[in-house]
Chain A
């Protein structure tokens, strides 16, 4: 598998001279095998992923964790959606009230966006993620509900005995401390992952002011990665107000906090071969 980060930022795109190294585009990560492409979230980073995968014959599975704007705003700019007869499967969190198409249509329709889902040239199939394990085109996928406002999923993508867990928006410490694995949101999904991409939006002080907003401090991300015994932690969903130097400092903090494994901070263009 080959993992590539197309957008590492949280909440809102924040391009500018202060965010050049880690990037300003919002959540988007691709995981490729020889037979298929999985794309985790459709934030503004999805636009560049679409340029990369334009015309690629491999089937695409787009896995949405939730439908906040920073995770879907790239959809309308994803070139493969405009390829005639291209098959694209979109997976998202289930709801008891509306299906995925109805919920995405709130954004992908006027007046918020000029193009509707039915206007895409590709054959787009929208699915509620099974909240279980399922197989597509050589990938084993697993989804689970995690703690974050509104229906939100984490995903685990596995192939060839290697695994990537993606928890872009996750607040496992809400109302408790990270301690016992069975009472920790996301643990079963992340346990033993080769790569864990995890929310690390805040400093410890910022988290105290934003409890319940659905995100983690880097210290919590490090503690969660240790609890899950993840081999490599990739801090993700960087706070838009954090410049590159701040992310550098948070990465150093996370590295010193971890008791095992490697730690990185996601940056646009980062690739990991698995």
Chain B
């Protein structure tokens, strides 16, 4: 984003709302790039937002490596944020994802599209709920097939 640019006011207000909530929230723009996540999401992702700042869609999906419970990769088109923006309606999914700390966690996510007064989809507001991990669900072993933050 260049020095003169500014996020749409709807995204600014969404960020302010997210910043005041106790549930993990991820805010993505119309391209799917992560433009903000709040403090509860920092716990889930294993990294502070200020250390990451904006994160492209490709970086995020590579780093977090979302997958089904059986280990199959979750297609990026099935991510709730992308579905919500594509369909213009709320979307929900349960999946596993890595934090930046390499830990695989089961989560559920609900995304709502952010539509402006002009009728443009500006992004999505994604609320994440960490699920209880069973021994089969979670591992602290880094996934050898996953890109590490340093590689992204």
User: Which residues on A are within 8 Å of B, measured CB to CB?
Assistant: 93-96, 131, 144-147, 151, 174-176, 181-188, 191-192
Contacts and interface: CB of A to CB of B under 8 A. Distances in A.
A97 to B, nearest CB: 10
Nearest to B15: A183
Interface of B: 1, 3-10, 12-13, 15-17, 19-20, 116-119
Given A182-B5, A188-B6, A191-B4, A145 B117 contact: yes
Contacts of A95: 117
A147 B11 CA distance: 11
Contacts of A181: 3, 6
B9 A145 contact: yes
B7 A182 contact: yes
Contact of B6 (A93, A151, A176, A182): A182
Max chain B CB contacts within 10 Å: which of A94, A131, A182, A187?
A182
A145 B6 contact: no
A187 B9 CA distance: 10
Contacts of A183: 6-7, 12, 15
Given A174-B16, A182-B1, A183-B15, A145 B119 contact: no
A175 B16 contact: yes
5 contacts: A93-B117, A144-B9, A151-B117, A175-B17, A183-B15
Given A146-B9, A175-B13, A183-B12, 13 more contacts: A131-B117, A131-B118, A175-B17, A175-B19, A176-B19, A181-B3, A181-B6, A182-B5, A184-B6, A184-B12, A185-B12, A188-B4, A188-B5
Contacts of A94: 117-118
Contacts of B117: 93-96, 131, 145, 151
Contact of B20 (A96, A175, A182, A192): A175
A167 B15 CA distance: 22
B90 to A, nearest CB: 18
B119 A96 contact: yes
A43 to B, nearest CB: 23
Contacts of B20: 175
